């Protein structure tokens, strides 16, 4: 059963604990009072009674022994079991009654004062427990009334929290916090809070609309010129009369335009509040890795860097294919960019993929900074230092944990775990 963390439940527990403490404290107080009644009052009364008797006996030798409903005095006629007691206080049981006996001795005579303490319990009940019950009843009633009043005072806050919980972030309704729905039956402070939430919902509506307009406009206005630049570079590369220098320049233009397209797509993807609007379908991680490896090979031109691809299975992920391409592409381009010689190896297992390079590597404190934008390692490859930031944000959004192990001079290993991935056997041949 889930543990309730509501304000009302917490208040109820607080009032219950308070009532329990009050009850326990009152019972302990009555118990201590009973002990004090016997330990102090009764014993003091016995001492006073014994002193009074000896003084009167000295003045009047025939002064009678005390004999009341609760107190009986003995001297020579004391029962045998009583005569065996020495001076001081002693518990004594006689004819199913419990006594507290005080024995004193003077001039060779002993006085036994026996106080019937069986009535002490009844006195404590009458004069202790009965008033205590009335006091506890009043306390518990006031506690219950306080709890009810606090619930009534907090009910508008709970209603506000419920409205916030049900708020649609794509289209928040400011009217949910105004009128009689919440604020109409609340105090001034709750009305102020409701007005602030209504203002916040209105601002959120404006921001959501602005984000939609931005992603729509940017998708068209940024991609269109990049597409023109890339297709123009491809047209130049198709010209047989283009010289080597022009071909290298056109290839750089095409590569830069393609990188900008990927970067623009990544930023637009992250600008969305969620991944809604992107088609989720079964995507083969193997095919995405193979495609991104081909696109990353030109980055290794002119360097002794070998790209390897190993797969123990065919791994299928339910995800937008574009998201997976952006994540894998950024990781591969980053690995190739920071590897001057050696290899970049991609391995696919039943739970995820691993990209290992023999590049410059990073110290542990720099690895922790890779989530921050514009953090780059030492490489001659141009970049902006946002690739791994994009990767981390995509992994957080889609629930794909990433771990990075790096060592300066030894290289870097990146593992991406796909919790809901489905491994399938590789096709033969």
CATH code assigned at 416:
3.30.565.10
One domain for residues 419 and 347: yes
**Structural domain contains residue 30:** yes
Q: What is the pTM of this model?
A: 0.49
Are residues 125 and 198 located together in one domain of the fold?
no
Residue 64 falls inside a structural domain: yes
Q: What is the widest separation between alpha-carbon atoms in the chain? A: 150
Domain assignment present for residue 412? The answer is yes
The pLDDT tens digits of the residues spanning 88-112 come to 988 888 877 888 899 999 888 899 9
Look at residue 167 and tell me if it is in a domain: no
**What mean pLDDT is reported for the chain?**
78
Which domain range does residue 108 map to? 7-142
pLDDT tens by residue, 237-268: 888 788 888 888 888 888 778 777 766 776 67
Chosen domain end from 91, 120, 142: 142
Query: Within this chain, do residues 196 and 97 fall inside the same structural domain, yes or no?
Result: no
Together in a domain, 420 and 298: yes
Q: How many separate domains does the chain show?
A: 3
Spell out the residues 6+ positions from residue 5 whose beta carbon is closer than 8 angstroms to its own: none
Q: Which residues pair with 92 in a beta bridge?
A: 99
Q: If pLDDT is split at 50, 70 and 90, which confidence band does 2 have?
A: very low
**Does 44 map to a domain?**
yes
Q: What is the pLDDT of residues 43-96, one digit of tens each?
A: 888 889 899 989 988 888 888 888 888 888 998 888 888 888 889 988 888 877
Query: With bands split at pLDDT 50, 70 and 90, how would you rate the model's confidence at 163?
Result: confident
What is the average per-residue pLDDT within 205-213? 76
Q: 412 and 292: one domain?
A: yes
182 in the same domain as 137: no
Task: Encode pLDDT of 10-50 as tens digits.
Answer: 666 777 777 777 777 777 766 666 666 666 678 888 889 89
Same domain, 61 and 117: yes
Residues 124 and 188 in one domain: no
Quick check: is 190 in a domain?
yes
Last residue of a domain, one of 101, 122, 142: 142
**Do 415 and 284 fall within a single domain?**
yes
């Amino acid at each position: 059963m889930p543990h309730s963390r509501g304000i009302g439940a917490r208040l109820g527990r607080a009032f219950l604990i308070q009532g329990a403490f009050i009850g326990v404290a009152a019972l302990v107080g009555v118990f201590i009072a009973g002990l004090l009644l016997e330990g102090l009052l009764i014993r003091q009364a016995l001492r006073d009674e014994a002193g009074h008797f000896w003084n009167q006996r000295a003045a009047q030798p025939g002064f009678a022994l005390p004999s009341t409903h609760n107190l009986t005095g003995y001297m020579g006629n004391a029962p045998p079991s009583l005569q065996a007691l020495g001076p001081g206080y002693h518990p004594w049981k006689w004819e199913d009654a419990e006594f507290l006996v005080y024995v004193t001795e003077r001039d060779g005579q002993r006085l036994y004062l026996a106080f019937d303490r069986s009535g002490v319990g009844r006195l404590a009940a009458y004069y202790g427990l009965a008033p205590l019950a009335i006091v506890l009843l009043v306390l518990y009633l006031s506690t219950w009334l306080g709890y009810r009043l606090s619930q009534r005072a907090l009910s508008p806050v709970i209603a506000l929290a419920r409205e916030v919980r049900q708020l649609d972030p794509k289209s928040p309704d400011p009217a949910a916090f105004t009128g009689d729905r919440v604020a109409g039956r609340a105090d001034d402070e709750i009305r102020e809070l409701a007005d602030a939430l209504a203002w916040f919902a209105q601002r959120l509506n404006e921001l959501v609309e602005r984000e939609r307009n931005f992603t729509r406009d940017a998708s068209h206005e940024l991609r269109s010129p990049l597409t023109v630049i890339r297709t123009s570079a491809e047209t130049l590369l198709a010209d047989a009369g283009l010289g080597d220098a022009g071909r290298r320049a056109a290839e750089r233009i095409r590569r830069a335009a393609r990188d900008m397209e990927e970067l623009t797509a990544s930023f637009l993807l992250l600008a969305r509040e969620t991944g809604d609007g992107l088609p989720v379908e079964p995507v083969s991680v193997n095919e995405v890795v193979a495609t991104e490896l081909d696109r990353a090979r030109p980055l290794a031109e002119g360097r002794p860097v070998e790209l390897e691809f190993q797969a123990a299975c065919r791994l299928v992920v339910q995800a937008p294919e574009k998201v997976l391409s952006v994540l894998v592409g950024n990781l591969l381009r980053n690995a190739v960019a920071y590897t001057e010689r050696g290899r970049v190896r991609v391995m696919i297992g039943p739970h995820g993929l691993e990209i290992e390079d023999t590049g410059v590597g990073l110290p542990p404190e720099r690895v922790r900074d890779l989530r921050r934008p514009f953090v780059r390692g030492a490489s001659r490859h141009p970049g902006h230092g946002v690739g791994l930031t994009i990767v981390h944000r995509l992994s957080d959004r889609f629930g794909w944990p990433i771990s990075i192990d790096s060592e300066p001079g030894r290289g870097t290993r990146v593992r991406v775990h796909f919790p809901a991935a489905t491994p399938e056997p590789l096709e033969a041949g």
